[in-house]
Chain A
Amino acid sequence: MTSTTVTPRAATGTAARSRHRRLSPGRILLNVFLTATALAWLFPVLWAAYNSFRDYDYTSEHGYVSLGGFTLQNYLHAWEQGEFTRHFLNSLYITVPAVLITLFIASCVAFVVARFSFRFNLVLLGVFTAANLLPQQALLIPLFRLYREVPLPLWMSDSGQLLDSYWGLILINTAFQTGFCTFVLSNYMKALPHEMFEAARVDGAGVPTQFFRITLPLCRPALAALATLQVTWIYNEFYWATVLMQSGDKFPITSSLTNLRGQFFTDYNLLSAGSVVIAIPVLIIFFVLQKQFVAGLTLGSTKG
């Protein structure tokens, strides 16, 4: 958030005024309040991180509110017992294709909606956007049955059906997330200068050229922001994997938490280490790509 969103304000001169304001008691109070709240907000994560580095025997003897007993063993054990290599790979197999397909098909629909005036444009946009907001449980029953009926060759899915396969999860995640991306991208594409497309048309560029050579490259900022957001969301996706996967070894990392809970139940240092490891990918996104992430969430408000 930050630089981009703050700039317009600074230009108006309000910022200049407040920057030179002296530190009034009210302002100090405000900062104290915000600092205290911010630290309280960070606390649960810091607490988990802190205890993940501590020895179980030490904490069970001295209690958790203590200092000392530092070790890295928890991470090794959590990784092994939680079979994290396998679950991380599962998350990768599902997240990467799902994000790529989602962005591609959302770009397709958004392009048509933004560049051509068909009567069904608004309906189409509504159908896509609303799909993203439905409660997953409302689709579960028929979808579950449907997934059991659709056969897949064994080289695609060792269950021989869409249920309990990576393909099934990629499909449903894609179907669910496309609406959101379509909405954002259509707004973004509508704001692109249409003269460029006219010029391209005069030069004889067909629809494929307009789409692949002109629109997609111009949408790179929006696509980057959406990709960041979608990677986080699909990595964090819990429901579909929980109900549509059946063999424990195929669960992506987030859904494997249900099983891990039993294994880590007695050792909270192990549980802390496991939580930290699972949080690391999204925390990296959070710290490195925070701007992209926030831009993705608020894109529609600035472009339009």
Chain B
Amino acid sequence: MSDLPTVPVAAKAPTRRRRRHVQATGTDRIFLALMVIVPTALVVGLVWLPAVATVVLSFASWTGVGSLDTIKWIGTQNYVDVFTIYPPFKPALTHNVIWLVFLFMVPTCLGIFLAVLLDRELRATRFYQTAFFLPVVLSLALIGFIWQLIYSRDQGLLNAVLHTQIDWYGDSRWNLWAVLVAAGWKHAGYIMLLYLAGLKGVDPSLREAAAVDGASPVRTFFSVVLPVMKPINIIIIVVTVIEALRAFDIVWVINKGTNGLELISTLVTANVVGEASRIGFGSALATIMLVISLVFITIFLSTVMRGERR
């Protein structure tokens, strides 16, 4: 998994928390200050300042070599170029959108469905959960590797079974879908896990009441369980969006994001570490990613931090 946080599922406000203004002594004060300042400096310095710098650089033309004086400011020209004269951008954007829609339609829904099925007392539930959960601990790069054994043209299992000669990772008509199946394999388990944890927190009496009223299990889920799970639903939506936006490892391992597997993340990377490093242009692409992600991060934070405010 990349490293999406997922924890804060329905973080409830602690019931008895009274924080005090403490009269800290001199040493205590220094100690407390260090406890905040050192970590904050690290996170701000290595994450937030670079993020801001990316936005600033997106208005510049720069090769990245030489001092900062060689930067030429060109306004929004990079953005105009991205949308008009940069052929890989449109396919990359399309692929990211397909990635997102696919993750939602298939693995996310499947994960929720599996969680609902597993949320009863089944004898083999441990086995089922372990099976669905297994791919979650593997890196997407390794998953790309493992599925190669199934997708390869000459030695792959899929062609042996279907009696075809398709290069599933190489043929641009198929490769995006092949990769999505492999990525979805992991995503479904992840969503299953999150949703199951949420379902365990739903008050059983709600469901019993619905059953007494004669509601079918399907009806109960959509009318009773789903609305109660609203915070978790939002978290799953955000996790899926960010997962789709950050997709990178699996396509980079396969062909560095070319030939049908272009993604915005691979374009940014190729523009910086590739032969022709176009800093301003890459930054414009990165800024687009940043803006999209910030919208969803805000939604995420306001969901998980509700109840923290007082």
A interface with B by C-beta (< 8 Å): 1-2, 5-6, 8-9, 12, 14-15, 18-19, 30-31, 33-35, 37-39, 41-42, 44-45, 47-48, 51, 59-60, 63-65, 105-106, 108-109, 111-112, 115-117, 122, 124-146, 171-172, 174-180, 182-184, 187, 190-191, 194, 201, 206-208, 211, 232-233, 235-239, 242-243, 254-255, 257-258, 260-261, 268, 271-272, 274-275, 278-279, 282-283, 285-286, 290, 293-294, 296-302, 304
Task: Return chain B residues, CB-CB under 8 Å to A30.
Answer: 117, 122
Task: Return chain B residues, CB-CB under 8 Å to A5.
Answer: 196-197, 200
| A125/B204 contact (C-beta < 8 A), A64-B157, A139-B50, A140-B272 known | no
CB<8 Å pairs between A and B, sample of 28: A34-B117, A37-B114, A44-B135, A47-B149, A51-B149, A64-B156, A109-B35, A112-B32, A130-B301, A133-B297, A137-B268, A137-B285, A137-B286, A138-B51, A139-B46, A141-B268, A142-B49, A194-B18, A206-B31, A235-B139, A239-B248, A278-B145, A283-B137, A297-B7, A301-B197, A302-B201, A304-B13, A304-B14
Segment at the interface with A among B21-29, B82-90, B172-180, B218-226: B21-29
B interface with A by C-beta (< 8 Å): 1-14, 17-22, 24-25, 27-28, 31-32, 34-36, 38-40, 42-51, 53-54, 57, 64, 114, 117-118, 120-122, 124-135, 137-142, 144-150, 152, 155-157, 160-161, 185, 189, 193-194, 196-198, 200-201, 204-205, 208, 242, 245-246, 248-249, 252-253, 264-265, 268-269, 272-273, 279, 282-283, 285-287, 289-290, 293-294, 296-297, 300-301, 304-305, 308-309
| A239/B249 contact (C-beta < 8 A), A31-B124, A124-B36, A301-B9 known | yes
**Do residues B35 and A35 form an inter-chain contact, with CB atoms below 8 A?**
no
**Do residues B57 and A141 form an inter-chain contact, with CB atoms below 8 A?**
yes
Nearest Cβ distance between residue A54 and chain B, in whole angstroms? 12
| A137/B265 contact (C-beta < 8 A), A109-B36, A124-B40, A297-B7 known | yes
**CA distance in complex: A224, B220 (Å):** 37
**Do residues B7 and A41 form an inter-chain contact, with CB atoms below 8 A?**
no
Task: Return chain A residues, CB-CB under 8 Å to B21.
Answer: 116-117
Q: Which one of B32, B129, B283, B286 contacts A207 once the chains associate, using CB atoms below 8 Å? A: B32
**CA distance in complex: A38, B128 (Å):** 6
**CA distance in complex: A207, B197 (Å):** 35
**CA distance in complex: A142, B56 (Å):** 10
Task: Return chain B residues, CB-CB under 8 Å to A133.
Answer: 4-5, 242, 293, 296-297, 300
Nearest Cβ distance between residue B207 and chain A, in whole angstroms? 8
**Do residues A207 and B269 form an inter-chain contact, with CB atoms below 8 A?**
no
Interface residues of A: mostly helix, strand, loop or mixed? Answer: helix
**Do residues A300 and B44 form an inter-chain contact, with CB atoms below 8 A?**
no
Interface residues of B: mostly helix, strand, loop or mixed? Answer: helix
Nearest Cβ distance between residue B210 and chain A, in whole angstroms? 13
**Do residues A282 and B47 form an inter-chain contact, with CB atoms below 8 A?**
no
Task: Return chain A residues, CB-CB under 8 Å to B249.
Answer: 238-239
Counted as pairs of residues, one from A and one from B, with CB atoms less than 8 Å apart, the total is: 368
**Do residues A138 and B18 form an inter-chain contact, with CB atoms below 8 A?**
no
Q: What 13 new A-B contacts, CB under 8 Å, besides A2-B126, A5-B200, A12-B205?
A: A47-B149, A135-B246, A135-B293, A139-B50, A171-B42, A175-B42, A177-B3, A206-B31, A207-B31, A236-B139, A275-B145, A301-B198, A301-B201
**Do residues A138 and B185 form an inter-chain contact, with CB atoms below 8 A?**
no
Task: Return chain A residues, CB-CB under 8 Å to B198.
Answer: 301
**Do residues A138 and B42 form an inter-chain contact, with CB atoms below 8 A?**
no
**Do residues B3 and A132 form an inter-chain contact, with CB atoms below 8 A?**
yes
Task: Return chain B residues, CB-CB under 8 Å to A254.
Answer: 139, 141-142
Q: Which one of B6, B10, B305 contacts A125 once the chains associate, using CB atoms below 8 Å? A: B305
| A108/B36 contact (C-beta < 8 A), A38-B127, A48-B146, A135-B265 known | yes
**Do residues A127 and B48 form an inter-chain contact, with CB atoms below 8 A?**
yes
| A137/B47 contact (C-beta < 8 A), A1-B196, A236-B139 known | no
Task: Return chain B residues, CB-CB under 8 Å to A239.
Answer: 2, 248-249
**CA distance in complex: A233, B294 (Å):** 22
